[in-house]
Chain A
Amino acid sequence: MAANKNNVKIEVKNLKKDFEDLEVLKDISTTVYEGEVVVLIGPSGSGKSTFLRCLNRLEEATAGTIIIDGYDITDKKIDINKVREKIGMVFQHFNLFNNLNVIKNMTLAPLELKKASPEEANENAMRMLRRVGLEDKAESYPSQLSGGQKQRVAIARSLCMHPDIMLFDEPTSALDPEMVGEVLQVMKDLAAEGMTMVIVTHEMGFAREVADRVLFMDGGYIVEEGPPQELLLHPKEPRTIDFLNKVL
Chain B
Amino acid sequence: MVRIISVYGGMLLSAMGKTLLLALLGLFFACIIGMFFGILSVLKNKACNIIAQIFVDAIRGVPMIVLAFFVYFGIPYFFNTTIGGFNVSLTALQAGTICLALNCGAYMSEIIRAGIESVDVGQMEAARSLGLSYGKAMRRVVLPQAIRTMIPSIINQFIITLKDTSILSVIGFPELVNTAKNVQANTFMAFQTWLIVGIMYLIVITALSRTAKLLERRLKRGR
Residues of A within 8 A of B (CB): 56, 58, 81-82, 84-85, 87-89, 91, 93, 95-100, 108-109, 112-113, 141, 143, 154, 157-158, 161
Contact = CB atoms under 8 A, between A and B. Distances in A.
Interface string B112-156: 000000001011011111111100100011001100100000000
Contact of A95 (B126, B132, B148): B126
B interface: dominant SS: helix
B210 interface: no
A117 B90 CA distance: 52
A85 B130 contact: yes
B132 A141 contact: no
Given A89-B126, A95-B123, A112-B140, A82 B131 contact: yes
Chain B interface extent, by class: 10 to 19
Given A99-B141, A99-B144, A99-B145, A85 B126 contact: no
A98 B145 CA distance: 8
Nearest to B147: A99
B223 interface: yes
Contact of A108 (B122, B133, B140): B140
A112 B148 CA distance: 22
A95 B125 contact: yes
A154 B131 CA distance: 15
Contact of B126 (A91, A99, A113, A143): A91
A113 B131 contact: yes
A84 B144 contact: no
Given A95-B120, A112-B140, 13 more contacts: A56-B129, A84-B131, A91-B122, A95-B122, A95-B125, A98-B145, A99-B141, A99-B223, A100-B141, A108-B130, A108-B140, A113-B131, A161-B131
Interface of B: 120, 122-123, 125-133, 136, 140-141, 144-145, 148, 223
B132 A81 contact: yes
B123 A98 contact: yes
A95 B15 CA distance: 51
Contacts of A81: 128, 131-133
A113 B132 contact: yes
Given A93-B122, A95-B122, A141 B223 contact: yes
B83 to A, nearest CB: 44
B114 to A, nearest CB: 18
21 contacts: A81-B132, A84-B128, A84-B129, A85-B130, A89-B125, A89-B126, A89-B129, A95-B122, A97-B126, A97-B127, A99-B141, A99-B145, A99-B148, A99-B223, A100-B141, A108-B141, A109-B131, A154-B126, A158-B129, A158-B130, A161-B131
Nearest to A113: B131
A68 to B, nearest CB: 13
A139 B68 CA distance: 52
B218 to A, nearest CB: 15
Contacts of A85: 130-131
A93 B128 CA distance: 16
A89 B145 CA distance: 22
